[in-house]
Amino acid sequence: MDENGPIIEKVVLPNFLYKHAIKQGQKTSSEVGFYIVGLIRGKTAYCYDLIEFDYYEQGPTYVETDFAKDFRLRAGLPIGLEILGNMHKHPGRMLTFSNTDKETFTKYARDSHNRNVFIIYVLNPDELVAFNAVNDKVHKIEIEIRNLNREERLKIYHFTIPITFQLCGPKNSKIQDLRFNFISNAAHEVGKCLSRPIFIYGYQEIPDKEILLNIDEIEVIPFVPIDIKLGQNFDIAYRFFLPANAKIEDLYEKITKDFKISPTLELFSGDKELDKKIKLSEMVGKVLILKEKEFEKQKGKIENFEQLKKSVNSLRRDLEEISLHTRSLRNIDEQFEKIHNTIKDIERRLSKLEGKDNKKDSDTTLDKFMRYG
């Protein structure tokens, strides 16, 4: 076996993520880049989400993200998922890695124990290529653009201790796999909750410079873990840790700082937009969603439109009934006229037999009928 051969031989990128990358790349002549969020099974890497860089530098031939923000994203990943590498657009038809790319790939290889994936793509026509860096070598590997099958899709398992956190794995995971993942990562996840706790004594927070002479019992309040769906894959909720006394406005400030988030996005719990003054402690255990506030307005307009459509359809049915009734009245008039014409014909025949002209009486009879028609 070649020690410098590829550790990963194939990467699977879902259609909807590839389309998202193409769409973002078409918006600018500069390079664009994404973190690849996924997991590795055997020698295949599965991509489950793409998180666009919050660019430190960006130009037509280069792109760079901030290391601190990279670190915060890693801290927010659910257990079981990892940042496999990155995907970025190249200018023109350069469907291979540059010298700068190779330096980045091989550095990442050393930090990730060679468990990495890098994807480069170009536009017009849209093409892409994937690589796995092992030590100082970069290997081209197979890439599949397709929908994930049932066994490959994510299933999220929630464990409650009393601290709740997420653990991601394939749908056909065995309990022994989950147990290993749990044992390997649970302590780290709990550590994030307890990294900056609030110390309470006598129902009050202890100031940082307080001298603890008269304090013998301290209540520890951990950081509040808040789960938010903010990527392209709404099966994945990213976790943020904030002080227990923080509010929604503090959370919003943090995510807009750490991620490339549109200022038009607002935080929702279900279909309810969250007030910025709500305490985060009230949101523990809930999955929040970032979405356009305007979408909710449009949704309301659509609902009103549907109600108007129902009203119009009801009026149409009423008009059809009136039309049918009118046609019935018209048919009655036609029957009256036929009967009258028959009477006239009979009267003419009688006139011939009697030598009289009954035209005037007949017309008078018709006028009487028409007056009520």
State how far the Cα of 340 lies from the Cα of 362, in Å rounded to an integer.
8
* 252-271 pLDDT tens trace: 888 877 777 776 788 888 88
pLDDT band of 129, cuts 50, 70, 90? very high
| 345 and 363 share one domain | yes
Banded model confidence at residue 365, pLDDT cuts 50, 70, 90: very low
Token pair, residue 71, equals: 């670190």
Q: Which two tokens stand for residue 24?
A: 């973002």
Domain end point (choices 103, 122, 145): 145
101: pLDDT strictly greater than 60: yes
CATH of the domain at 57: 3.40.140.10
- Looking at residue 224, its pLDDT comes to 80
Same domain, 74 and 109: yes
Whether residue 189 has pLDDT greater than 80: no
Smallest CA-to-CA distance from 240 within 228, 231, 232 is with 228
- In a shared domain, residues 159 and 285: yes
Average pLDDT over residues 216-224: 76
88 and 194 share a domain? no
Question: Looking at the chain, how many residues does it have?
Answer: 373
Which pLDDT score is estimated for 147?
Answer: 93
Q: Which of 238, 263, 293 is the last residue of a domain?
A: 293
The answer to the question of residue 212 being in a domain is: no
Specify the range with the lowest mean pLDDT, choosing from 3-17, 85-99, 146-160.
146-160
Highest mean pLDDT pick, 69-83, 147-161, 207-221: 69-83
Quick check: is 50 in a domain? yes
Residue 91 has pLDDT above 70, yes or no: yes
Residues 118 and 227 in one domain: no
For residue 209, being part of any structural domain is answered with no
Q: Is the residue at 210 inside a domain?
A: no
Strands (E), the chain: 10-13, 33-41, 44-52, 55-58, 63-65, 82-89, 117-122, 127-134, 137-145, 154-160, 164-170, 198-201, 204-205, 219-221, 224-229, 238-242, 265-269, 272-273, 287-292
Tens-digit pLDDT profile for residues 297-311:
555 554 555 666 666
Q: Indicate whether 260 and 178 sit together in one domain.
A: yes
User: How far, in Å, CA of 252 to CA of 267, rounded?
Assistant: 8
Considering only residues 247 and 220, tell me which one the structure prediction assigns the higher pLDDT: 247
Give dist(CA 85, CA 98) in Å, integer. 16
Query: What confidence tier does 76 reach under pLDDT thresholds 50, 70, 90?
Result: confident
pTM: 0.60
Please tell me which residue, 17 or 204, carries the higher pLDDT value.
17
Residue 1 lies in a domain: no
Q: What is the mean pLDDT of the chain?
A: 78
Total domains, the chain: 3
In a domain, 136, yes or no: yes
Examine the fold and report which residue of 263, 293, 323 is the final residue of a domain before the chain moves on: 293
Backbone angles phi, psi at 103, to 5 degrees: -60, -45
User: Is the same domain home to 303 and 265?
Assistant: no
Q: Given this model, what pLDDT does residue 326 score?
A: 66
Give the model's pLDDT for residue 44: 94
The residues near 122 (Cβ < 8 Å, ≥ 6 apart) are 89, 90, 91, 92, 93, 94, 95, 128
How far apart are alpha carbons 198 and 201 in whole angstroms?
Answer: 10
Question: How far is the C-alpha of 20 from the C-alpha of 250, rounded, in Å?
Answer: 29
Average of per-residue pLDDT across 115-132: 93
Indicate whether 18 belongs to any domain: yes
Span 312-360, pLDDT tens digits: 666 667 667 766 666 666 666 676 676 667 777 776 777 777 665 544 4
pLDDT tier, 372 (very low <50, low <70, confident <90, very high otherwise):
very low
Q: Are residues 303 and 284 in the same domain?
A: no
Instruction: Verify that 183 and 287 share a domain, yes or no.
Output: yes
Model confidence at 82, pLDDT cuts 50, 70, 90, reads very high
Average pLDDT over residues 227-254: 83
Do 99 and 162 belong together in one domain? no
Mean pLDDT of 158-177: 73
In this prediction, what percent of the chain has a pLDDT beyond 70?
74
Distance, CA of 344 to CA of 360 (rounded, Å):
10
Paired sense of beta strands 224-229 and 287-292, if any:
parallel
On whether the CB atoms of residues 32 and 60 are closer than 8 A, the answer is no
Domain that residue 335 falls in? 298-371
Report which of 57, 127, 53, 54 is spatially closest to residue 92, judged by C-alpha positions.
127
Q: Mean pLDDT highest for which of 49-58, 60-69, 257-266?
A: 49-58
The amino acid at 169: G
Residues 186 and 239 in one domain: yes
Both 341 and 245 in one domain: the answer is no
Is 348 domain-assigned? yes
